[in-house]
Structure 1
Amino acid sequence: MSTTASTEGGAGALPTHAGRTAVVTGAGRGIGQELCRALAARGADVVGIDLGEVKETGNVVEELGRRWLGITADVTDLDAITVAATAVEEFGGADILVNNAAIDDAVHFDDLDLDLWRKVIQVDLEAPFLLCKAFVPHMRAQGWGRIVNIASGVVMNPMQRFVAYRAAKMGLIGFSRALATELGNEGITVNIVSPGVTKTVMAADSLGEAAFERSAQARAIQRVAVPADIAGAVLFATSEDCGFVTGQTFMANGGAYFV
C-alpha cells in the first residue's frame, strides 16, 4: 500500500497507520465519521459500517487518497456482520476495529421498558462482541491487531436517566478488559476510549445544546469537546506505539474528572 506523507505531522513524515485497514462502526456521522477521517489521514484504508448513509464519510476518506468501503448494516445483525467480515477480505483483512456505534435511552428508570433496555444492550454491548468475533480471526492470522471500544464518561457521573446506556457501557469496559487478557499474547491489544460530553447530534438530542457549555465549564480544559478531540486518543490506541498498552481506559474528557 502507499506510504505517501500524511496530511498530519511534519514534512516528509510517514503516516503512522500506513498499510493498515481500519473498521469503524457508527461511521456515518459524529465521532465515527471523524475517526474515519483521522485514520485515513494517518494512512489507513477504512471500512465504515453504519445503519444509515455513509457516502459523505466515504468522500472524506477518498479525498485523503485512501481506499474506502462503506457498508450499510445493522451491527446487531449477525448475518450482516458476517457479510461485512467477508467484504473486508478484499482489503487484505482487518488490522484495526473501532466499536463506536451506539444508541442511548434518555429516559428515567420508570419510563425504561424492556424493549428499549434490550435494544440499547444489543447495540452498545452485544454488537461489539459480534464484531470482535468476526474480525479477531483476521488479526490472529497476522499476529497483529488493535481493538478500541468506545465507552462513555457518563458511567462516572451521578446523573439521572441513561440507565441502560450506562449499564451497557460499563459492561463494554468489562468485556474489553477480559478480551485484552485473552488476546494479549497474540499481538492484539484491546483498549477503551471514554469520551466526555462531546458536541454531536446524538448528544444534542439526548442532553440538549446547553449541556455542551455546562460541561465545558466543569472541565480543566474549559471548551466544548468536538469529535476530533476523541480521535487523538483512538489514533494512539490503534497505533504501533500502543503495542504494550492493553485493557486500559483512556479518559478523553478534558479533565472533567480524574481516575
Structure 2
Amino acid sequence: MKLDEQVVVVTGGSRGLGKAVVKAFAREGAGVVINYFESEGKAKDLQNILGEKAVALKADVRDPAQVRKMFRQAEAYFSRPVTTIVNNALVHFRFDPESRHDASRISWEEYSLQMEGAVRGALNTIQAGLAEMKRLHFGRVINIGTNLFQNPVVAYHDYNTSKAALLGFTRSMAKDLGQYGITVNMVSGGLLKTTDASAATSEAVFQLIQETTPLQKVTEPEDVADAVLFFASPWARAVTGQNLVVDGGLVMD
C-alpha cells in the first residue's frame, strides 16, 4: 500500500518528534491522526495547518477503551480503517540529566510509568487496529525507541529500560503478525535537538554529541521522521522485526 493510501495514527503527535512524523506523512498524502492526551491546543493548531488530511483525536494510550474509541473515530473521519501505527507517545518524561533519579533513588513506580506508556501503549494501539489490518492483509507498526538502551550515556533508568522492553515487544509482534501481512519495526533516534522533552538538556551536551558523532551533527526530529516513513513505505515491505538507529552514527549496531 502506497503512503498516500494509508491512514496513520501517530501517538503523541502534537509536538516534538510526533509532530515531525505527522507532517512527514501528511506531506506524502496520507491521512493522519494527531493523537494527544494533554496538548490539545498544539494538536488543534497542527490540524488547522494540515487541513482535512489530518484530524486531532484525544486518547490516553494507556487506556484500551480510549484507544479503541480513537480508532473508530479515525475510521469514521477518513471513511477507511487505520493501516499504520506510530507508537511515539512519551508519558511524563523529560531528558534532564541533572534531576534524573540515580540507582539509589529510582522507584519502581517510575519504571512502571514508562513501561505503561511505551509497552502497554503499543499493545493497546496494535490490538485496536489488528482486526482491520488482518482483514486488509496489510499493516505497518513503527515503534519509537532510543539509542540510549544500547549506549546509556545518561542512565535514565526508567526510560531506557522501557525502550529496551519495547524492542523485545517489537520483535515478538513481528514474529506473530507477519503471517497477516503486518510488519512491526522500531526507529531509535538519538537525543533530538530540540523538543519539549529535551529542552532541559544543556548546550554543552549537544555540543559533545556533535563532536563525537561521525556526521558531526545532532539528530533532528525530521531526520527520524523520514526513517519512520521508510518502514511504512512499499520499499520496506520485506523488513520486519528490525531496529534502525538514526543518530548520525553515534551508535553503530
1:245 deviates by 0.4
- Greater relative contact order (Cα < 8 A, sep 6+): 2
Please name the residue that 1:191 is paired with: 185
Aligned sequence identity (%): 30
Alpha-carbon RMSD across the aligned residues, in angstroms, is: 1.6
Structure-2 residue corresponding to 1:157: 151
Structure 1 counterpart of 2:21, one-letter code = L
> In structure 1, the residue corresponding to 2:5 is in which secondary structure?
coil
Alignment of 1:228 onto 2:222? yes
Q: CA deviation at 1:138?
A: 1.8
State how far apart, in whole Å, the 2-side matches of 1:230 and 1:134 are: 25
Distance across 1 between alignment mates of 2:181 and 2:19: 27
Counterpart selection for 1:95 from 62, 83, 91: 83
- Is residue 27–residue 57 contact of structure 1 (8 Å, CA) maintained in 2? no
Give the drift of 1:160. Answer: 4.2
Q: How many corresponding residue pairs?
A: 241
Helix, strand or coil at the partner of 2:176: helix
1:133 and 1:250 map into 2 onto residues whose CA distance is 24
Indicate the residue corresponding to 1:202 in structure 2: 197
The partner residue of 1:169 within 160, 163, 169 is 163
Q: CA deviation at 1:163?
A: 0.8
Distance 2:105 2:86 in 1: 31
- 1:90-109 C-alpha deviation (Å, 9 max, x unpaired): 12101110000114373212
TM-score normalised over the length of structure 1: 0.88
Q: One-letter code of the match for 1:86?
A: R
CA–CA distance in structure 2, aligned partners of residues 158 and 32 of structure 1: 23
Q: For 1:1-259, what aligned pairs fall within 5 Å after superposition?
A: 16-51=2-37, 52-53=39-40, 54-62=43-51, 66-90=52-76, 91=78, 92-103=80-91, 104=93, 106-199=100-193, 200-205=195-200, 207-259=201-253
In the aligned structure 1, how far is the partner of 2:119 from the partner of 2:13?
17
Residue of structure 2 in register with 1:11 after alignment: none
CA distance in 2, matches of 1:42, 1:34: 13
Deviation at 1:68, TM superposition (A): 1.6
| 1:75-99 alpha-carbon deviations (Å, 9 max, x no partner) | 1122211211211221210111000
- Aligned letter for 1:227? P
> 1:133 is aligned with what amino acid?
Q
CA distance in 2, matches of 1:85, 1:16: 20
Q: TM-score, normalised by structure 2?
A: 0.90
Instruction: Give 2:70's aligned amino acid.
Output: A
Comparing 145-154 with 157-166, greater Cα deviation is found at 157-166
Q: Post-superposition shift, 1:67?
A: 1.9
Structure 2 SS opposite 1:69: strand
Contiguous gaps of at least 5 residues in structure 2: 95-99
The code of the aligned residue for 2:89 comes to A
Tell me if the contact between 1:21 and 1:45 (Cα under 8 Å) persists in the aligned partners: yes
Q: Tell me the equivalent position of 2:97.
A: none
